[in-house]
Amino acid sequence: MNHYRLTLLHILLVLLCYGPISIQAQSSFGTVGLEELKERHEDEDLVITDWKRDFQFKYSPVSGLMEVKEYFQMDYLNLTDDPLSTIYPIFVDDYSSIRSIKSGGTKLKADPFPFEMDGIFHHDAEVNPVQVYVRTGTTPTRLYFQKEYSDSKYLTRKFFGARYPVESFTLTLKFPKNSEVEALLFYGEEFGIKMREYDQGLNHVIEFTGDSLPAFEKESFSKGAAFYEPHIIILTKGVTINGERRNLLSTTDDLYGWYASLVKEIGNESDDLAAFTADLVKDCPDSRCELETIYYWVQDNIRYIAFEDGIAGFRPEACQDVFYNKYGDCKGMANLMTEMLRSRGVDARLTWIGTQAVPYDYSIPSLSVDNHMICTVIQEDGSYLFLDGTEKFITLDDVAERIQGRPVMIENGNSYILAEVPSFTHHRNKELLEINYAIAENKLTGQFNYSVTGEGKVRMMNRYADVPSKDRSEAQRLFFSRGLTDIHIGEGEYTDLKERTEEIAWSASFEAKNRVNQFGDELYLDWDIYRSYARSRFKEEDMDDIKGDLNFRSKVFDIERYRIEPIEGFKLKDLPEDFSVDEKHFKLEIGFKANDDGSIEIEKKVIIPHASIPNDDLHEWNETIERLEEEVYDRPIIYEKF
């Protein structure tokens, strides 16, 4: 296994200034011999023999908040014959701080700095990278730190996995008996995690224990670790003081109440914005035109910058700031659009939502359920329009795949409305490729026509809309050659990529080399120039290690139609058989038809109706793709002279 590498470039730079951490011996690892560990983890350099995380809760009557102290220790064991180092990042923000860091008894200075991760800049969040040097031998190296949270609301979820395999672990939540703290366990049974509760003096304890956890690895093809890695969500609901219960965050009502309190603090000043909006829509003949004009103006003129105000990034930026700065995050853009629409008398509401990257719903009163904000328009008939200003080029009646089917919380004064974003079928994402082939000088030549709707259309527009006109043809050629050097795409025609039309259509001439081979009197034609989905098969030796589903980002409805013109002097000798697989989560069909005039028509259809293939069906998917390669892609169409 490769050593874990953070995507935080600044961490690596700062580490150049860090000196080695001095090591004090821990007790030798004697329960399982070092050699046995090496054999069990032959692909690993480091293993975590044990980690413990102890969260201690205490209510502060001064702040009215539940404060938390976290005590963390992790023991690393080196499985190689050479000293190694690893990095452990400790994250802090306005609501948490590092009180101490130690390794083997040596105290280290906390030195956090701002960071950017996954394309999101965190204003007040910081990271403290700790470089741990792990020596050889049977004695583990211990990393220890203490962290404090000033508000348990921000202590949301914790994962059990680590970047290296874990031999054993214990996580405890310790809180006074007059406090209400719960922990929701996800994927615990699959990994053999045990949970028990018991009293300890004046405290109540929730304890999680387990062993033999595989290394935590982010699977790029899945929705996210929360869909397959074991973790808990921590709920701090309330506390009873002198017989009086003080509510913290125990229900969905409480969650909305806190959100609503943040909205009241925004400080919108919308007079100038209202005047601008009135001028923007002055030529609109009806209310729908006004909706479209405002929605598309926000998409086109406000640059989306993914940043969070630390972990407390739930307060939208004031509309006037986003308007004048011409940039904002999802919350700021939603707030701007809401205020613009309200200035025109539209019933527009701020709306909280967790995208499809979030596996939770509003039955859980936690900040973990939300990671996005949009605007909802309540129409005269009571129906909803869901508007996401961060989705460039999407139309008024459309919604992006990432929020389809997701629960939303719509502001409604002192109350709220729970609703669901509609889902569309795979037909929304139709992608059609039509190619007419002819054979000339042992090359495939012809014309292709390509059209795409839905999610693929929006992605295409985002990719190419800002490409200068003089470079469009080259961009088109790069797209359709798909990195294949033996395909040449000629000049073509394409839809205006800044028009929000129902579909995008491109057409061009093409030439493909190395697809026609003649041996004696026989001619072999490799008809499928792209061999789509051939690369989506997993290596068999990796199958048992895959934890998540195979996610395609959006529902798939791909159709490819090929017509091969008659070849002068040759007649058809052998045509591959039709191919058909129809499973619950995927469907592949390829049909071959030989016409009387000597031409051949082929249609390939791929449908993935739910955008992903569950982990339990991955073996079937693998077998299907293997069959596709053997029975179709590796079988050329054969002609013979006559």
Mind listing the pLDDT tens digit for each residue in 109-123? 877 766 665 555 545
Q: Which of 65-69, 441-445, 563-567 has the lowest mean pLDDT?
A: 441-445
Residue 54 pLDDT > 90: yes
Residue 16 pLDDT > 80: no
Residue 176 near residue 203 (C-beta atoms within 8 A)? yes
| Percent of all residues in the chain with a pLDDT value above 90, rounded to a whole number | 67
Residue 396 near residue 381 (C-beta atoms within 8 A)? no
Q: What is residue 27's predicted lDDT score, i.e. its pLDDT? A: 52
Q: What is residue 3's predicted lDDT score, i.e. its pLDDT? A: 39
Q: What is residue 306's predicted lDDT score, i.e. its pLDDT? A: 72
Domain with CATH 3.10.620.30 in the chain: 262-420
Q: What is the average pLDDT value for the chain, to the nearest integer?
A: 89
116, with CB counted inside 10 A (0-12, 13-18, 19+), is middle
Q: What is residue 410's predicted lDDT score, i.e. its pLDDT? A: 98
d(CA 543, CA 546): 6
Strand partners, 91: 127
Q: What is residue 123's predicted lDDT score, i.e. its pLDDT? A: 55
Q: What is residue 219's predicted lDDT score, i.e. its pLDDT? A: 83
- Tell me the average pLDDT across 36-56: 94
Q: Which of 10-19, 27-36, 393-402 has the lowest mean pLDDT?
A: 10-19
pLDDT top residue among 599 and 497? 599
Question: Which distant-in-sequence residues (6+ apart) come within 8 Å of 615 by Cβ?
Answer: 228, 546, 547, 548, 549, 550
Q: Which of 68-77, 125-134, 305-314 has the lowest mean pLDDT?
A: 305-314
- Tell me the average pLDDT across 420-447: 93
Cα distances from 513 to residues 81, 258, 295, 435, 489, in angstroms, run 52, 63, 46, 15, 12
d(CA 576, CA 591): 9
Residue whose structure tokens are 């990095």: 87
Q: What is residue 495's predicted lDDT score, i.e. its pLDDT? A: 79
Pairing of strands 65-78, 487-494: unpaired
Q: What is residue 535's predicted lDDT score, i.e. its pLDDT? A: 82
Q: What is residue 356's predicted lDDT score, i.e. its pLDDT? A: 94
DSSP state of 93: B
Q: What is residue 314's predicted lDDT score, i.e. its pLDDT? A: 79
For 593, the token pair is: 């038809």
pLDDT band at 483 (very low <50, low <70, confident <90, very high): confident
- Tell me the average pLDDT across 192-205: 97
d(CA 608, CA 558): 9
Q: What is residue 11's predicted lDDT score, i.e. its pLDDT? A: 39
Q: What is residue 105's predicted lDDT score, i.e. its pLDDT? A: 67
Residue 144 near residue 104 (C-beta atoms within 8 A)? no
pLDDT band at 23 (very low <50, low <70, confident <90, very high): very low
pLDDT top residue among 542 and 325? 325
Q: Which of 135-144, 175-184, 468-477, 548-557 has the lowest mean pLDDT?
A: 468-477
Residue whose structure tokens are 């296994």: 1
Q: What is residue 492's predicted lDDT score, i.e. its pLDDT? A: 79
Domain with CATH 2.60.40 in the chain: 9-247
Q: What is residue 93's predicted lDDT score, i.e. its pLDDT? A: 83
**Nearest residue to 576 via CA among 626, 631, 618, 621:** 631
For 201, the token pair is: 């003096």
For 441, the token pair is: 């000088």
d(CA 27, CA 36): 18
> CATH number for the 427-641 domain, one of 3.40.640.10, 3.90.320.10, 2.60.120.1130, 3.40.50.300?
2.60.120.1130
pLDDT band at 28 (very low <50, low <70, confident <90, very high): low
Domain with CATH 2.60.120.1130 in the chain: 427-641
551, with CB counted inside 10 A (0-12, 13-18, 19+), is buried
> CATH number for the 262-420 domain, one of 3.40.50.620, 3.20.20.140, 3.10.620.30, 3.40.50.720?
3.10.620.30
d(CA 169, CA 401): 38
- Tell me the average pLDDT across 256-278: 94
Q: Which of 107-111, 292-296, 318-322, 602-606 has the lowest mean pLDDT?
A: 107-111
394, with CB counted inside 10 A (0-12, 13-18, 19+), is buried
Residue 79 pLDDT > 60: yes
CATH class of this structure's domain 9-247: mainly beta
Strands, E assignment, 187-293:
194-200, 203-213, 231-241, 244-247
| Amino acid (1-letter code) at residue 281 | V
d(CA 167, CA 161): 11
Name the pTM for this structure.
0.89
Strand order in the sheet with 556-564: 487-494, 503-512, 443-453, 430-440, 556-564, 600-608, 587-594, 579-582
Listed as own residue / partner, the contacts of 595-600 with beta carbons closer than 8 Å and 24 or more positions apart are 597/566, 598/566, 598/567, 598/571, 598/572, 599/563, 599/564, 599/565, 599/566, 600/527, 600/562, 600/563, 600/564, 600/572, 600/575, 600/637
